[in-house]
Copies of this chain bind each other. A is one copy, B any other.
Amino acid sequence: MPVAEVSIVPIGEGPSISKYVKKAIDVFKKYNLKVEPGAMGTVLEGNLDEIIKAYKEAHETVLKDTVRVLSTLKIDDRRDKENTIEEKLKAIDCYK
């Protein structure tokens, strides 16, 4: 199962962008995904189709309210063993 991180940044709306980030997070939550917002991006866990659809809708949603968006989607996908946020954190002894 893929684990992903998404960052969606409006450029040109001033330095404070939290209201746009909150809109993106609201989009992610409509999908069948585990959604974990963080200080530098939102971590998503779910199937590949859902992750990509959620990313695309969030990108388009923020772009509706602004003229320029820089967005990043990073996906870590493996098929040899279970890949989840929990397993990844346990592997580095950081699961709480």
User: Could you list which residues of chain A lie within 8 angstroms of chain B, going by C-beta atoms?
Assistant: 3-5, 9, 11-18, 21-22, 25, 36-41, 43, 45, 48, 52, 55-56, 59-60, 63, 67-80, 85, 88-89, 91-94
Copies of the chain in the assembly: 4
Partner of A78, one of B15, B41, B72: B15
Contact B75 A59 (CB under 8 A): yes
Partner of A40, one of B4, B14, B56, B79: B4
Partner of A70, one of B9, B12, B89: B9
Nearest 10 A-B pairs (CB), nearest first? A12-B15, A18-B91, A68-B78, A15-B68, A5-B40, A67-B80, A39-B85, A37-B94, A39-B88, A73-B73
